[in-house]
Structure 1
Amino acid sequence: MRNFELPGRSLVMARNGMAATSHPAATLAAVNVLQAGGNAMDAAIAACAVQGVVEPGSTGIGGDCFALYARGGRDDVLAFNGSGRAPAAATPAALAQKGVTEWTRHSAHVVSVPGAVDAWATLAADHGTRPLGELLQPAIALAEQGFAVAPRCAADWAANAALLRQDPEAARIYLRGGQAPAAGDVHHLRELAATLRAIAAGGRDAFYEGTIADGMVGFLQARGGLHTAADFAACRGEYVTPIRTRFRGVDILECPPNGQGLIALLIMNILSGFPADGDPTSPERLHLEIEATRLAYAARDAWLGDPLHGPVDVQRLLSMEFAQELRARIDPEQAAPRVDMPEPAAHKDTVYICVVDKERNCASFINSIFQPFGSGLVAPGGVLLHNRGQSFSLQPGHANTIAGRKRPLHTIIPGMAVQDGRVRMPFGVMGGHYQAMGHAHLVAKVFDYGLDPQTAIDLPRVFPVPGTRQVEAEATLPEATRAALVRMGHTLIKPGMAIGGAQAILIDWERGVLQGGSDPRKDGCALGY
C-alpha cells in the first residue's frame, strides 16, 4: 500500500470504464466517449486526436501509430502496424546523389509518409462504434477555441523553441515572438483544426489524396524530398500477428518488427533467468536490468528492420536459448566494458493511451512524431511532420537500410499482458529508445514484485544510452544506489528530462474493478467511472 505521508498519487479505481493518457484533456475526452456509449477503440482514437492538439510536441497526424486491441478482454489480441513508409525513390544511392551522407533532423529526407490517419480511420471502421468524424470533434474544438498549455508540455515546448524557429511556418504556428508559450497560456492551432475538420468530413482520403496531400508533397519536394503524390496515396497500415513471451506465468504481447517490441520481450527473457527478490530498485537488480538492456539493444541495432524488406529472425531472438546466451554474458557484479553482437544465425517523444471499456474491450494505443516536435517542419494545413526516417540506416546491407516504400525501425510499442486467457493489463511506456527497457522494467515490477501499476510507474528510472557505457539516472535514485552502480563500473549521467512516461490499467476480473496508473513525469492522469 502507498505511504500516504509521501508525495505521490493514488491508484485510480473504477468499475465500468477507464482511460489513462499523458494529458488530462485526452483522458477526459476518452472517458466522455465511453460514457456516451463508445467503446475502447473509439475512446483511444478520440484521446489520441486530442493529444495531437494539446501535446503537439509528442504526437499528431504527421506521425505514426501502432495498436493492440482485445475484444472483450479475450486472448485473441489484434495488432495493427500503422507506420508509414519511405518514398519509393528513397535509396542510399539516390540520397547520396543529393549529398545526403548523414541524417539531419530538420530535413525532408527524414520524413516518411505519416501513417497515423490511415491507422485511425481503419481501426475506427473495423473496431469502433462511432464514425471517425465524430471522434475528431473534441480535438477540433480544442484546436479552434484554444487550450491551456500544461506544465510538462510547456517545458518540452521551450526546450525545442530553437528547432521551431528554423521553419517559418513552425515559428508562426507554435511560437509567440520567437518564444514557446508558457504553462497556462492559451494557444490555438487553427490550421490544424481545418485539416482535422477535412479529415472528419472526408476520411483518410482527405489526408492522403487531394489538397492536403498535395500541400505536403509540394512542401517536401521544395526542400529536396523524394516524396510523390503516389507515395501518400499508397499509404496503408496492416494487421499483423502479435508476438509474445511468457514471463512469470503471464503472456506479454507486443507488435512484431519493424517495432522494437521484440526487444522488450528479449529483455524480459533475459531477466526471467534471474531471481526476483529483495528491493526492486536495489543496485544489484538495476545492474541486471541495465546489462540486459545493453545486450538486447545491441541485438536490435544489428538485426531489427522491416520484415517486408529482409528477414528478421524473430524465432531465434525470442528463443530461451538466445536469452541464455546473452544472460551468460552478464557479470552480476561488474558492468561489461563493451557490448558486441555476433552475426545472427542462418528519447524522442510519443503519447501512449490505454482504455478499457464496460465490455472489457482493451485498447493499447501509441502514436508518435518521434523526437519532440518531430522534424520541426510544418506543411500546409498545420501538419507537423515527424522525423521517423531518421531511424533508417544509410549503410548498404544493414537490416535497417533505407529503401523505397520500406518502414523504418520503430521505437513506439504498445503492450498487453494476458493471464489465464484474459487480458490482465494493457500498458505502454513513452520515451523513444527507452521504451523497450521501460516495458521490461514495468512488467517486472508488476509481475515479479507484485507492485500495483501506479507504484511501479512512480519508481526511479535508469537507462543505458545505446552504444555507450553511460547510464541516465533520475534524480530520485537514492545516493547509496548511485554509489553502488558507479562501483560496478557504470557512468551515471543526468537525463535531459525525466525518463519516459507510462500508463497502465490492471483488470481485477474477480472483483470487477479496473486499477489505473499514469506517470507523474507527464501532465496526464487515469480516470474511470
Structure 2
Amino acid sequence: MRKFDMPGRSPVVAENGMAATSHPLATASAISVLRDGGNAVDAAIAAAATLAVVEPHMTGIGGDCFVIVAEPDGTLHGLNGSGRAPAGAHAAWYRERGFTEIPATGPHSVTVPGAIKAWEVLSQRFGTRGFEALFTDAIRYAEEGFAIHPRVARDWARYAAELAADEGGRIHYLSNGRTPAVFSRHRLPALGATLRRIAGKGSAAFYEGEVASEIARTIREKGGFLSEEDLAKVSADWVEPITTGYRGYDVFEIPPNGQGLTALIMLNLMNELRVERTSVDGPDRWHLMIEAARLAYAVRDRHIADPASMTCETKDLLDAAYTEALAGGYMPGRRNGNIALPPIPNSDTIYLCVVDGDRRAVSFINSLYSGFGSKIVTPASGIALQNRGACFTLEEGHPNELSPAKRPMHTIIPGMATKDGKPSCAFGVMGGAYQPMGHALVLSNMLDFGMDPQQAVDFPRLFWGEDGTLEAETGIPAGVRSELAARGHTLRDALGPWGGAQIIAIDYESGFLIGGSDPRKDGCALGW
C-alpha cells in the first residue's frame, strides 16, 4: 500500500476493459473503442494512431511497430512490423567513402517504415473495425489541433534546431520558428490528410502512389537510397514469440531482429544469481542487475541481428548451460571491467497495452527511434521518417552489418507474461536501449518483491549513458550510490527520466484488471 501523503498515484482497477498509454488522449481513444464494442486490437490501433499525432516526436506512421497478441485461451501471436534497409544500401559503399558508422540522422539513417503495414495486418487478422473508424480521433486532432502536454513540450523543444534545418520539419512541427509551448494548440493538417487517405484506402495509400513517391523522392534528393520499390515491398511478418520462465510465469518477447532476447537473458541471469534474496532498494540488488544487464547487452551487441544473418540460435542463448557460463562473469563485490559495454544511443518510443472484456491482451510498441526519427519530414504529406538504419553496423562480417533489404537490430520490444497457460500481464518499457533493463526491473518488482503494476513502474531507475557512466534517477538514495561507487561503478545524476512504462495485469481470482502508467510520461491507465 502506498503512502497517501506522498506524491504518487494508485493503480487503476476495473473489470470490463482497460488501456494504458503514454498520453491521456490516446488512452481515451482506446477506451472509446472498447466501450463501443471493439476489441483490444481495435483499441490498440486507435490509440497508436492518436499517439502518432499527439506525440509526434516519439512515434508516427513513418516508423516501425512490434506487437504481441495473447488470445483469451493463452495462444500468443507475435508481429514483426520493422522495415528493411533500401535495396541499394551496401555497407561497402559507406566504408569506401570513409564512414565508420551509419549517420544517426539524415537520409542514410532512413529505413522502410513498417508501422502502417503492421497495423493493417494486425487489424485484418484480429480486428473488428476498419481504419476509418479507428482513425477518427487521430484525424480530428491532426486537423483541429491538440493540446501540448508537459512532457511532450519538454521533449519537442529539444529538437527545435534540427526541425528548423529541414523543410518539412519547419512546415509541420514548428510555429513561427518555435516548438509549441505547453498547453498550446498545435495542428498537423497535412498528416491528417495522409491519415484520411490511409483510412479510406488502407496501407496502399502509404506504400504506393503519391505518398510513397514523395517519401522516396525526399530521401533520394538528400542523397539516400530509399526507393518506391523498397516501399512497395514492405512486409509485416507473424513470428513465434520467444520465452523463458521466471517465478512461475512464462515471459514472452518478439524474437530477433528485436532486442527482447536481451531481456530474457537478463531474467535468466537474475534467476541464476538469486536477485530475490537481495533488498528491493539496496545496493546488492542494483549491483546484480547492472552487472546482469552488462552481460546480457554484451551478448546483444555480439549476436542479435536480422535472424537470416545470425550465427547462433536463440534457443542456445537461453539455454541453462549458457546462462550458467554467463553468470560466471558476475562479481558480487566488484564491477567486472572486462565486460564489453555496448554504446547506448538516445531514442524515443511509445508503448501501450490494452486488455478487453474477453481477456484478450495486446502489447504494442511503435517508434521513430530518435526524437522525430531521421529529422526528415515529408513537406507535402507531413510524415516524420524514422532513423532505424542507425542501428546497423558497418563492421564487415558482423551479423548486424548493413546490407540490402535487411532488417536492423531493433530496440523496441513489447512484453507479455502468462501463468498457467493464460495471459497474465501485458507490459512494456520505452526508452531505446534501456528497454530490456526496464522489462527485467518491472517484472522483478512485481514477481520478486510483490509490487502492484503502478508501484512497479513508479520505482526509481538506474542505467548507463552514452559514455558508460551510470545515470541515477532522483529516487536512488545517496547511500546506494556510495556503495555502488565503492564497487567500481561510476555514477552521476540522470539528466532526465529513464524510459516510460505501461502495465496491465489480469487477476483471475477477483476478475479485475490492474493497470499502471508511468508518471515519467503524460499518460494514464483507464478502465471501466
TM-score with structure 2 length normalisation? 0.97
SS in 2 for 1:354: strand
Question: Larger deviation: 316-325 or 250-259?
Answer: 316-325
Q: Tell me the residue number matched to 1:186.
A: 185
Q: Tell me the residue number matched to 1:92.
A: 91
Q: Is the 8 A contact 1:13 1:528 kept in 2?
A: yes
Q: Tell me the residue number matched to 2:335.
A: 335
2: CA distance, partners of 1:284 / 1:116: 40
Q: Is the 8 A contact 2:278 2:284 kept in 1?
A: no
* Residue correspondence of structure 1 range 361-376 to structure 2 within 5 A: 361-376=360-375
Q: Is the 8 A contact 1:257 1:409 kept in 2?
A: yes
> Does residue 1:204 correspond to 2:233, yes or no?
no
Q: Tell me the residue number matched to 1:128.
A: 127
The one-character-per-residue Cα deviations of 1:185-204 (angstroms, maximum 9, x if unpaired) are: 10000110010000001100
* Gaps in structure 1 of 5+ consecutive residues: 342-346
Q: Tell me the residue number matched to 1:357.
A: 356
1: CA distance, partners of 2:173 / 2:478: 39
Change (3 A) 1:326 1:310: closer
* Residue correspondence of structure 1 range 331-480 to structure 2 within 5 A: 331-340=331-340, 347-379=346-378, 380-465=380-465, 469-480=468-479
2: CA distance, partners of 1:15 / 1:312: 44
Cα shift at 1:444: 0.8
2: CA distance, partners of 1:97 / 1:320: 43
Q: Tell me the residue number matched to 1:253.
A: 252
Cα shift at 1:459: 0.7
For 1:361, the aligned partner's letter is R
SS in 2 for 1:309: coil
Cα shift at 1:315: 1.4
Q: Is the 8 A contact 1:463 1:473 kept in 2?
A: yes
2: CA distance, partners of 1:412 / 1:329: 27
Cα shift at 1:329: 1.2
2: CA distance, partners of 1:219 / 1:515: 45
Q: Is the 8 A contact 1:18 1:514 kept in 2?
A: yes
Q: Tell me the residue number matched to 2:520.
A: 521
1: CA distance, partners of 2:435 / 2:247: 20
Q: Is the 8 A contact 2:287 2:484 kept in 1?
A: yes
Q: Is the 8 A contact 2:416 2:426 kept in 1?
A: yes
For 1:215, the aligned partner's letter is E
* Residue correspondence of structure 1 range 209-248 to structure 2 within 5 A: 209-248=208-247
For 1:368, the aligned partner's letter is S
* Gaps in structure 2 of 5+ consecutive residues: none
Cα shift at 1:162: 1.8
2: CA distance, partners of 1:502 / 1:245: 21
Q: Is the 8 A contact 1:418 1:425 kept in 2?
A: yes
2: CA distance, partners of 1:224 / 1:129: 42
Q: Tell me the residue number matched to 2:489.
A: 490
1: CA distance, partners of 2:179 / 2:362: 33
Question: Larger deviation: 177-186 or 249-258?
Answer: 177-186
Cα shift at 1:175: 1.3
Q: Is the 8 A contact 1:305 1:312 kept in 2?
A: no
Identity %: 48
The one-character-per-residue Cα deviations of 1:453-507 (angstroms, maximum 9, x if unpaired) are: 10011011001347x5411111121111111111111111233320000000010
Q: Is the 8 A contact 1:133 1:203 kept in 2?
A: no
1: CA distance, partners of 2:183 / 2:102: 35
The one-character-per-residue Cα deviations of 1:67-119 (angstroms, maximum 9, x if unpaired) are: 000112x3220000000000111111233456644322331111000000000
For 2:8, the aligned partner's letter is G
2: CA distance, partners of 1:439 / 1:114: 25
1: CA distance, partners of 2:55 / 2:340: 38
Q: Tell me the residue number matched to 1:61.
A: 61
Cα shift at 1:63: 0.2
* Residue correspondence of structure 1 range 78-117 to structure 2 within 5 A: 78-96=77-95, 100-117=99-116
SS in 2 for 1:426: strand
Q: Tell me the residue number matched to 1:315.
A: 315
- Tell me the C-alpha RMSD between the 2 structures: 1.3
Q: Is the 8 A contact 1:338 1:469 kept in 2?
A: no
Cα shift at 1:260: 0.4
TM-score with structure 1 length normalisation? 0.97
Cα shift at 1:419: 0.4
For 1:339, the aligned partner's letter is I
2: CA distance, partners of 1:278 / 1:318: 24
2: CA distance, partners of 1:314 / 1:398: 17
> Does residue 1:298 correspond to 2:284, yes or no?
no
2: CA distance, partners of 1:377 / 1:98: 23
How many residues in Structure 1 have an aligned counterpart in Structure 2?
522
Q: Tell me the residue number matched to 1:344.
A: none
Q: Tell me the residue number matched to 2:44.
A: 44
2: CA distance, partners of 1:375 / 1:515: 37
Cα shift at 1:132: 1.7
For 1:364, the aligned partner's letter is S
2: CA distance, partners of 1:310 / 1:90: 19
Change (3 A) 1:310 1:89: farther
SS in 1 for 2:331: coil
For 1:425, the aligned partner's letter is C
2: CA distance, partners of 1:119 / 1:12: 29
SS in 1 for 2:277: coil
For 2:509, the aligned partner's letter is E
Change (3 A) 1:99 1:334: closer
